[in-house]
Structure 1
Amino acid sequence: MGKTKLKLAAIIGAVILSSSTAFASLEDAKDLKIISYNVYNGMKLDESEGKQKFIDWAKMQDADIIAWQEMNFFTREKLEKFAASYGHNYAVLLKEAPDDPASFPVAITSKYPIVNVNKVVDNLWHGALYADVGKYHFVITHMNPFWTSKRIDEINLIIDSIKYSSDPQGKWIIAGDLNSFSPADKSEYDNSKLLEDIKDKQKKRPILDNLVNGQLSYTVQQNLLDAGYIDALKLKNKQFISTAPTKVFYDQASTPLRYDYIYVSPKLKDDVVDVKVLKDEFTDTYSDHYPVQMIIHNK
Structure 2
Amino acid sequence: MKHLIICIGLFLSFSVLAEPLNVMTYNVYLGFNKKQTLDAGAKWIAAQGVDVLALQELKGFNPERLATAAKKWGHGYSVVFDRKGGFPQGLTSKTPIEKVEQIQPENNPKLRGTLHCKTAGIHFFVVHFDPRNYLNRQKEATAVAKRVIPLVASGEKVVVLGDFNAHSEADRVFLDQQVQLLDKWREKEDARNRSFRDNGELDYLVVKTLLDTGLIDPSKDPVGTFPTRLHFAEESAEDYGRRLNRIDFILAVCRT
What is the distance in 2 between the residues matched to 1:167 and 1:132?
17
Q: Of 58, 82, 85, which residue of structure 1 is paired with 2:72? A: 85
SS of alignment partner, residue 196 of structure 2: coil
For 1:10, the equivalent position in structure 2 comes to: none
What is the distance in 2 between the residues matched to 1:138 and 1:160?
14
For 2:42, the equivalent position in structure 1 comes to: 55
What is the distance in 2 between the residues matched to 1:242 and 1:116?
30
What is the distance in 1 between the residues matched to 2:87 and 2:99?
22
How far did residue 126 of structure 1 move?
Answer: 2.8
Q: Which moved more, 1:71-80 or 1:53-62?
A: 53-62
1:165 to 1:222, Cα distance in 2 relative to 1, 3 A: closer
Does the CA-based 8 Å contact 1:74-1:96 persist in structure 2? Answer: no
* Matched positions, count: 227
User: What TM-score do you get using the length of structure 1 for normalisation?
Assistant: 0.70
1:167 to 1:76, Cα distance in 2 relative to 1, 3 A: farther
1:242 to 1:133, Cα distance in 2 relative to 1, 3 A: same
For 2:122, the equivalent position in structure 1 comes to: 136
Q: One-letter code of the match for 1:93?
A: V
1:29 to 1:169, Cα distance in 2 relative to 1, 3 A: closer
- Taking only aligned residues, the RMSD between alpha carbons, in angstroms, comes to 2.4
Please list the CA deviations of residues 37-59 of structure 1 after superposition, one character each: whole Å capped at 9, or x if unmatched: 111111107525xx211111121
Pairing of 1:1-299 with structure 2 (within 5 A): 29-44=18-33, 47=36, 51-97=38-84, 100=85, 103-121=86-104, 122-123=107-108, 125-165=111-151, 168-193=154-179, 194-202=181-189, 206-213=191-198, 214-233=200-219, 236-237=220-221, 240-248=222-230, 255-265=243-253, 267-268=254-255
How far did residue 242 of structure 1 move?
Answer: 0.5
How far did residue 202 of structure 1 move?
Answer: 2.1
Q: Which moved more, 1:123-132 or 1:146-155?
A: 123-132
SS of alignment partner, residue 118 of structure 2: strand
Any stretches of 5+ residues in structure 2 without a counterpart?
A: 1-15, 233-241
What is the distance in 2 between the residues matched to 1:82 and 1:116?
19
How far did residue 227 of structure 1 move?
Answer: 2.3
Does the CA-based 8 Å contact 2:75-2:93 persist in structure 1? Answer: yes
Does the CA-based 8 Å contact 1:68-1:107 persist in structure 2? Answer: yes
How far did residue 123 of structure 1 move?
Answer: 4.1
What is the distance in 2 between the residues matched to 1:28 and 1:243?
28
Does the CA-based 8 Å contact 2:23-2:53 persist in structure 1? Answer: yes
SS of alignment partner, residue 181 of structure 1: coil
What is the distance in 2 between the residues matched to 1:148 and 1:112?
35
Question: Identity, % of aligned pairs?
Answer: 29
Q: One-letter code of the match for 1:200?
A: E
SS of alignment partner, residue 209 of structure 1: coil
Any stretches of 5+ residues in structure 1 without a counterpart?
A: 1-26, 269-298
Does the CA-based 8 Å contact 1:162-1:168 persist in structure 2? Answer: no
Q: Larger radius of gyration, structure 1 or 2? A: 1
What is the distance in 2 between the residues matched to 1:85 and 1:134?
20
Does the CA-based 8 Å contact 2:152-2:214 persist in structure 1? Answer: no
How far did residue 261 of structure 1 move?
Answer: 0.1
Does the CA-based 8 Å contact 1:46-1:54 persist in structure 2? Answer: no
Does the CA-based 8 Å contact 1:105-1:126 persist in structure 2? Answer: no
Q: One-letter code of the match for 2:193?
A: L
SS of alignment partner, residue 91 of structure 1: strand
What is the distance in 1 between the residues matched to 2:130 and 2:59?
16
How far did residue 116 of structure 1 move?
Answer: 4.3
